[in-house]
Chains A and B, each alone.
Chain A
């Protein structure tokens, strides 16, 4: 029979706590006290989650099997989106903020099944205009200085 995922989650919690308890023990007494208390409590809750997982596994029947919270299949789409966001942030350093944002908005809207080119272009243009006029010009957010292109534009302004 499939085990309830709470068991695996509880084990991950215990490994996390063990690692940080080890690190806490390297600290002086005063600095370590609060983290150790909290890690102790978290370990205790981790054990309860594991026990609860076993209970749920025992309770499962053929009609009501254990339903996993996460499977590779159902994580594919959200983590592809997350991958897009990571790429977007990395692109700041390569092509600068504006191009990265335009590419990200275009690619992610296409990935999220937007088919109207006009809407994609209009939304991207409006967002970039808002960023430039409100955040960069009014609030002095220096995000446009990131990346090779940003550095070049900043230097040419000087």
Chain B
């Protein structure tokens, strides 16, 4: 009972409530802007949370995460421009419905489906995380090393078009993580005499540079190619917000099924909201009484992909909070935010930090409910965001990124890091190197190296024997091997789902 009272008091604190509202609305707005992904939204807001309590800050970040995934569906439906990759499946039927004059009803279905999917994901997080967290009590350095290696194997699935270049980005991220004082011996590595670099490259300024500054450089390029706004045509933004009840109630089984499937897919590292939306869309078509409507304007299609992608966000937080395993770029950024606030994923999240953890999870659940309510009220106005001229958005994002980066430690060096990574991010993106693996590599670098070297010390020179005597490590080794092959399997599932969706 004490825990319930503590959680209630923390979640109803003013800071948490403000974080919740700002996160939900901010996430919706960022998600609605094509090109401005959930990753960028979370990255931009991490510095803002620095002055907040860990609870309020983390509630804001997880709210941005789920709301941005939902926000992407608004422009996907009304303008056929998915705000985030996770909304691509929604665009198929959503935009058809818009063309039939039922665009706002489709947005309403997206909103309700996203809220229910997100809430199911949050409940899974609430009930599945504690046992997993307790299990992680049995982990030593070797198991954490194996877990981090498991995380590294996810890099291949974030690689984008070129696996070789994606792997290079990931390993470059791991290498950048070695810059600074060696945690075991205290020797400076690649610091070139700079005291600032002895702390290593700060993760948040680097990712703000890579996601925000590089995006603004691309925006400048687009403007000179003749694009002035993200969305050229302002779509139909009028009409009722939900379909009639007798039509809507037929969608409920689809929403329920996709929410459960989406949550399970979210828990699998490397799958994420994008894969989940396609799998749920394809499944929705298979189970539908009117599969012929899929691709021609089906509310079921919209509901299945939207509940699936938002459910996956809650699922993705399960391995993140319990095992420190970020399954996607956004989860990796969230891990950075958690570490910045002194929250180390693992067993401690459910022992000494239990109240904070449960408050964040309850905050995430509330964010999904609030997202549904606010979404129904303001979705049509949020859609207008994508008509703001890019020439205004770009400079404002730069100014926000700069002050946000400076705010982390009141340190100009972080701003220089942001700048350097901005240019690097642009060059990497333009030459076909995905930036998400680099982020994941930077986050996991320190964990991999420190735990590996600790495990070496603990093994007293006989690593093989030490390894064989730890069954959890052996299981993790099997998972690592499976994970290496999972991108091939996921690509196959994704391809089949897309083919199934289009046929």
Contacts and interface: CB of A to CB of B under 8 A. Distances in A.
A141 B406 contact: yes
Nearest to B429: A69
A16 to B, nearest CB: 9
A72 interface: no
A149 interface: no
Contact of A38 (B178, B218, B221): B178
Contacts of A5: 431
A48 to B, nearest CB: 5
B5 interface: no
A140 B51 contact: yes
B396 A123 contact: yes
Contacts of A34: 178, 448-449, 452-453
Interface in A59-90: 69-70, 74, 77-82, 85-86, 88-89
Contacts of A135: 48, 403, 407
Interface in B370-409: 389-392, 394-396, 398-400, 402-403, 406-407
Contacts of B391: 109, 112-114
Interface in B405-419: 406-407, 410, 412, 415-416, 419
Contact of B182 (A20, A31, A78): A31
Given A31-B182, A113-B223, A42 B168 contact: yes
Contact of B165 (A49, A97, A108): A49
A35 B217 contact: no
Interface in B140-156: none
Contacts of A24: 189
A127 B223 contact: no
A114 B392 contact: yes
B132 interface: no
Contact of B395 (A74, A109, A143): A109
Nearest to B217: A78
Q: Is the interface of A mostly helix, strand, loop or mixed?
A: helix
Contacts of A86: 419
A104 B185 CA distance: 44
Contacts of B400: 127
Interface in A3-47: 5, 9, 13, 20, 23-24, 27-28, 30-31, 34-35, 38-39, 41-42, 45-46
Chain B interface, >50% SS class: helix
Nearest to B406: A143
Nearest to B394: A112
Contacts of A80: 220
B246 to A, nearest CB: 46
B410 A142 contact: yes
Indicate the member of A34, A52, A79, A92 with the most B CB atoms within 10 Å.
Answer: A34
B221 A141 contact: no
Interface residues of A, number: 57
B137 interface: no
A95 to B, nearest CB: 15
Which residue, of B217, B415, B416, has the highest number of chain A Cβ atoms within 10 A? B217
Contacts of B168: 13, 42, 45-46, 49
B196 to A, nearest CB: 15
Contacts of A35: 175, 178, 189-190
A112 B223 contact: yes
B463 interface: no
A81 B422 CA distance: 11
Given A77-B220, A143-B407, A20 B190 contact: yes
| In the complex, the 10 A-B pairs of residues with the closest C-beta atoms, listed nearest first | A112-B391, A139-B51, A78-B217, A81-B220, A108-B395, A114-B391, A141-B407, A31-B182, A38-B175, A45-B168
Interface of A: 5, 9, 13, 20, 23-24, 27-28, 30-31, 34-35, 38-39, 41-42, 45-46, 48-49, 52, 69-70, 74, 77-82, 85-86, 88-89, 92, 97, 101, 104-105, 108-109, 111-114, 119, 123, 127, 131, 135, 138-143, 146
